[in-house]
């Protein structure tokens, strides 16, 4: 892995430049630029071996790094060193809250052009230059903050939950993300510093080969985001468990279980033989010590009685389940007829309190505007219980903070669950640019709707 060290040794840089480019270092240009610009000078090395050098303009006013000049010694080329240097500068820019990195090159340097594009840089213009064909190509990389991204591997599901919002996506055709697009998206996640990646669907285990591919990609690249998998649990088996154990980072499963009663489970999921499969899968996860929680969407008039909650909580203790999250139902324009099943956040909190009275001691540990976290103690066991208020219910202005990023199984970025026909660009090609367009849309919604949202419900 490359090391990067600042230097003031201009003689060493001049020597390296001649070894790399077989020409003298442009010392006059260097001195001229030094009069008006901050020049950060770096030596690149691998262990104790110097492999190259670079100089970047540090524009503190515009919050920009411009990669001006530099290169890799001939014997170390095609080893990925300059690509690693670019990733180093991206992280440096992000840590310093800079907005962009720029670089320029020429057509007679195709390797540099390919590298810039592969690293997520976008061509923003050309100008007259002094090398090659005289056309200097200008590239820009927009630096984003640490991101959380949801990737829909497929919109196909083996359940038919009547309330399903399909991750807020509007495409009625059956789609599965291609391995090629997924690889590009994962690479974009890497260069855009995505801390948490959620694999969802549809039912993502229908495409378990894509989950396996994701794990292999992360392990090979030494990129270790937190990995979440949203599943209904019915397709979990020991082979899948062994596969996710291979991941060298943190992995967590969110298992959707909307009733611990078979009759209600079958009615909600519109299945007949999957309740036992799901319960057995939960037992397997517990036995194999896999980090997971239950997700329970509360449906008014269906699974919202004290008895429903008591059964779920008691069975969770019996099965050594450690965590349950109760979630408000997401209602959009597409499924507005589901509004009659919507139960508000505060009502869910009341139900939990009433359901726990006979079970054990319930303590509220933490609450903000989006969620509350309880701990329920029963004898020598404890159960973590959370209630989530949907981001959409907090209003469009809060979406600027929460940034629920969803990439559809078509590879497109969708910034809004409610306005699900809005696409902001192919995330597999340029995630930063797609996110920038999405941010502009959300900021416009925030201006128009404030603490409300496009279908009019407020906090």
pLDDT tier, 415 (very low <50, low <70, confident <90, very high otherwise): confident
Q: Which CATH superfamily is domain 3-142 in?
A: Gcn5-related N-acetyltransferase (GNAT) (3.40.630.30)
Instruction: Give residue 457's pLDDT.
Output: 45
Burial letters 396-418, b for 16+ CB under 10 A, else e: bbbbeeebbbbbbbbbbbbbbbb
Mean pLDDT for 353-358 is 96
Of 243-247, 436-440, 451-455, the poorest mean pLDDT is in 451-455
434 pLDDT more than 90: no
What is d(CA 318, CA 141) in angstroms, rounded to the nearest whole number?
Answer: 52
Of 39-53, 135-149, 401-415, the poorest mean pLDDT is in 401-415
Q: Which is more confidently placed, 272 or 223?
A: 272
pLDDT tier, 423 (very low <50, low <70, confident <90, very high otherwise): confident
Mean pLDDT for 341-365 is 96
pTM of the complete model beyond 0.85:
no
Instruction: Give residue 449's pLDDT.
Output: 77
In the chain, what are the domain boundaries? 3-142, 148-449
Percent of the chain with pLDDT over 90: 65
Instruction: Give residue 186's pLDDT.
Output: 94
* Beta-strand relationship, 361-367 and 39-46: unpaired
Q: Which is more confidently placed, 270 or 426?
A: 270
Q: Going along 118-271, which residue ranges are E strands? A: 122-128, 135-142, 147-152, 194-200, 226-231, 251-256
Decide if 3-142 and 148-449 have a common fold: no
Mean pLDDT for 25-54 is 94
The verdict on domain 148-449 having CATH code 3.20.20.70 is yes
239 pLDDT more than 70: yes
3-class SS at 279? helix
């Amino acid at each position: 892995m490359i090391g990067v060290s600042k230097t003031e040794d201009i003689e060493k840089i001049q020597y390296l430049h001649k070894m790399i480019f077989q020409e003298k270092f442009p010392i006059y240009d260097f001195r001229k630029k030094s009069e008006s610009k901050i020049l950060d000078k770096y030596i690149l090395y691998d262990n104790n071996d110097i492999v190259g050098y670079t100089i970047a303009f540090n524009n503190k006013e515009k919050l920009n790094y411009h990669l001006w000049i530099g290169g890799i010694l001939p014997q170390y080329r095609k080893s990925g060193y300059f690509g690693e240097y670019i990733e180093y500068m991206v992280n440096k820019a992000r840590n310093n809250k800079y907005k962009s990195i720029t670089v320029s090159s020429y057509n007679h340097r195709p390797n540099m052009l390919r590298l810039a594009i592969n690293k997520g840089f976008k061509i923003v213009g050309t100008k007259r230059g002094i090398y090659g064909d005289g056309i200097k190509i200008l590239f820009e990389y927009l630096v984003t903050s640490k991101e959380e991204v949801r990737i829909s591997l497929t919109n196909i599901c083996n359940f038919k939950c009547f309330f399903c919002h399909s991750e807020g996506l509007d495409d009625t055709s059956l789609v599965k993300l291609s391995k090629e697009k997924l690889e590009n998206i994962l690479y974009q996640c890497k260069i855009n510093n995505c801390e948490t990646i959620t694999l969802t669907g549809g039912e993502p285990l229908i495409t378990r080969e894509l989950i396996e591919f994701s794990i292999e990609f992360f392990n090979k690249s030494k990129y270790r985001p937190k990995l979440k998998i949203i599943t209904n649990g019915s397709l979990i088996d020991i082979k899948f468990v062994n596969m996710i154990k291979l991941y060298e980072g943190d992995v967590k499963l969110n298992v959707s279980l909307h009733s611990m009663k078979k009759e209600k489970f079958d009615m909600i999921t519109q299945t007949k033989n999957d309740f036992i499969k799901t319960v057995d899968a939960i037992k397997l996860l517990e036995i194999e010590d896999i980090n997971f929680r239950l997700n329970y969407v509360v449906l008014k008039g269906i699974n919202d009685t004290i008895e429903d909650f008591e059964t779920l909580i008691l069975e969770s203790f019996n099965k050594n389940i450690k965590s349950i999250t109760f979630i408000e139902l997401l209602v959009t324009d597409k499924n507005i007829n589901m509004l009659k099943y919507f139960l508000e956040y505060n009502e869910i909190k009341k139900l939990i309190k009433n359901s726990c009275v006979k079970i054990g001691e319930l303590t509220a540990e933490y609450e903000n505007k989006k969620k509350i976290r309880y701990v329920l103690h029963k004898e020598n066991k404890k159960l973590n219980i959370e209630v989530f208020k949907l981001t959409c219910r907090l209003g469009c202005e809060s979406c600027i903070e929460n940034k629920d990023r969803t990439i559809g199984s078509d590879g497109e970025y969708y910034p809004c669950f409610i306005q699900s026909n809005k696409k902001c660009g192919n995330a597999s090609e340029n995630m930063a640019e797609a996110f920038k367009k999405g941010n502009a849309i959300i900021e416009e919604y925030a201006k128009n709707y404030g603490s409300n949202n496009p279908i009019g419900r407020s906090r």
